[in-house]
Structure 1
Amino acid sequence: MAETTQSRVDAPEHPARPLPPYVPRLAFAGGLVLTGVILIMTVGMNRPGGEEPPPPAEPQPALAVPDQKPQPGAATPRAGLAAPPDRPTVSDAAELETWANRVAAKTRISVTELSAYGRAEMWLRRQKPGCHLSWATLAGISRVEAAQGRLGPIMLAPDVWAKQAIRATSDGKQPDPKNLDDAAFATARYLCAAGDDIATPEGWWKSMRVFNPAVPYVQEVFSAADAYADASVAP
């Protein structure tokens, strides 16, 4: 019995078989596949569509406006590049958009805002041809309002809005004071309500001081409107 036990203890173990040559290659290939899957998932999560997201566009600085401080009735702001003709029987949206893009590049006002101011000029040109309102005055008012902390469209007093508000886009909806097109159009109607010629110094100052009687306010609007008008016609 002792010999048998000893012989079992001393018996050599079976040597391990060598791996077939294709096994390391399979393991290596599997590792590559797994790495590729991880990379694809990572790229898919971080870069939708497999492309780097474009960097955010840098906002353009506002147009520099010289502080002119003209005396009341002494001068009127220059007229900006005229908005396209109003065509009651056909669509003039494409012409307005082309004009707004051209002026936006020079004045650094958004195309959306310029379309609203330009549309108001177009409508008033037909409804009040003797007023000669330029979109630049509306843009000047908007700039001063924003500088004073009033966000959104040009705001009118409720009683003025009730009298002057008309839907600017002729889509059958009710005019909305929070809609920039409607607000710009109502403001233009208010400025031209007295029948004065805004292209004259007397008429412009009279109209603006009905809108806001404070001389410093009107002077700021004058400076902004004149700067926008000048930039719009620059080569």
Structure 2
Amino acid sequence: MAETTQSSADTPEYFSRPLPPYVSRLAFAGGLVLTGVVLIMTVGVQRPGGEEPPPPPQPQPALAVPDQKPQPGVATPRAGLAAPPDRPTVSDAAELETWAKRVASKTRLPVADLSAYGRAEMWLRRQKPGCHLSWATLAGISHVEAAQGRPGPITLAPDVWAKHSMRATGDGKRPDTKNLDDAAFATARYLCADGDDIATPAGWWKAMRVFNPAVPYVQEVFSAADAYADASVAP
């Protein structure tokens, strides 16, 4: 049998044809992208000089609230650092924010929450001057509500909200049950509705038992309000 030899002309063209120039360019570009990704990941993990990135700030622990369990009508919580004077004809937002930041540094409560409590105290000081409501009582109510697992602002019954709610910011909008400013203001109006002096033991306990008749609930509010008030005036 004659031996057959395949000529070079019969050899497939793809064995000897050089790669198109764009293939090498694509490979080069891919290498650059990969190198960039590695550099980005390296910079994100390791800072210049071998320093580790600073740890995220830890949340400040909540203020300790002693369980006092006072007897009804015997005592009233201390009044906290008074909110700024209410100025009907000029803006007092800057003063309120300064006050809230000062109290927040001592009570470890959020500035926005304290602004809501302080604004309610300011407005009630003009609407019900004989009530003498302190923001600390509102903070104590909110503390107990949160401890009982109720998310969001202070919760009022629908009929109470319908009677006592009012927009706290004076922007003309309707009061919002999910707005802490409105909820705090409505609660303050509810506590002061009967004209009692909340600075007295009898007046404070009467107003709080109308808000919630359960003595253990009111005792917890008392303890929290007293703790926040004491911390707010501490040196």
Query: Which amino acid letter does the alignment assign opposite residue 195 of structure 1?
Result: G
Q: Which residue of 2 aligns with 1:160?
A: 160
Query: Which amino acid letter does the alignment assign opposite residue 172 of structure 1?
Result: G
1:43, CA displacement in angstroms? 5.5
The CA distance in 2 between the partners of 1:110 and 1:197, in whole Å, is: 28
Q: Which residue of 1 aligns with 2:5?
A: none
Q: Which residue of 1 aligns with 2:117?
A: 117
Structure 2: 5+ residue runs without aligned partners?
Answer: 1-31
Structure 1: 5+ residue runs without aligned partners?
Answer: 1-32
1:87, CA displacement in angstroms? 0.5
The CA distance in 1 between the partners of 2:132 and 2:189, in whole Å, is: 12
1:224, CA displacement in angstroms? 0.5
Deviates more, 1:59-68 or 1:204-213: 59-68
| Superposed structure 1 runs of 4+ greater than 6 Å apart | 33-36
1:60, CA displacement in angstroms? 1.2
Query: SS at the partner of 1:114?
Result: helix
Q: Which residue of 1 aligns with 2:14?
A: none
The CA distance in 2 between the partners of 1:139 and 1:202, in whole Å, is: 20
- Write out per-residue CA displacement over residues 145-191 of structure 1, whole angstroms, 9 at most, x where no aligned residue: 11111111000000000011111011111100000000000000000
Percent identity reads 82
Q: Which residue of 2 aligns with 1:197?
A: 197
1:61, CA displacement in angstroms? 1.1
What TM-score do you get using the length of structure 1 for normalisation?
Answer: 0.80
RMSD of aligned residue pairs (Cα, Å): 2.1
The CA distance in 2 between the partners of 1:206 and 1:55, in whole Å, is: 49
1:40, CA displacement in angstroms? 4.6
The CA distance in 1 between the partners of 2:76 and 2:211, in whole Å, is: 16
What TM-score do you get using the length of structure 2 for normalisation?
Answer: 0.80
The CA distance in 1 between the partners of 2:169 and 2:53, in whole Å, is: 36
Aligned residues: 200
- Write out per-residue CA displacement over residues 39-90 of structure 1, whole angstroms, 9 at most, x where no aligned residue: 554457x48xx9x875332111111111111111000000000000000111
1:75 is aligned to 2:75: yes
Q: Which residue of 2 aligns with 1:58?
A: 58
The CA distance in 1 between the partners of 2:131 and 2:104, in whole Å, is: 24
Which structure has the bigger radius of gyration? 1
The CA distance in 1 between the partners of 2:33 and 2:181, in whole Å, is: 57
Query: SS at the partner of 2:234?
Result: coil
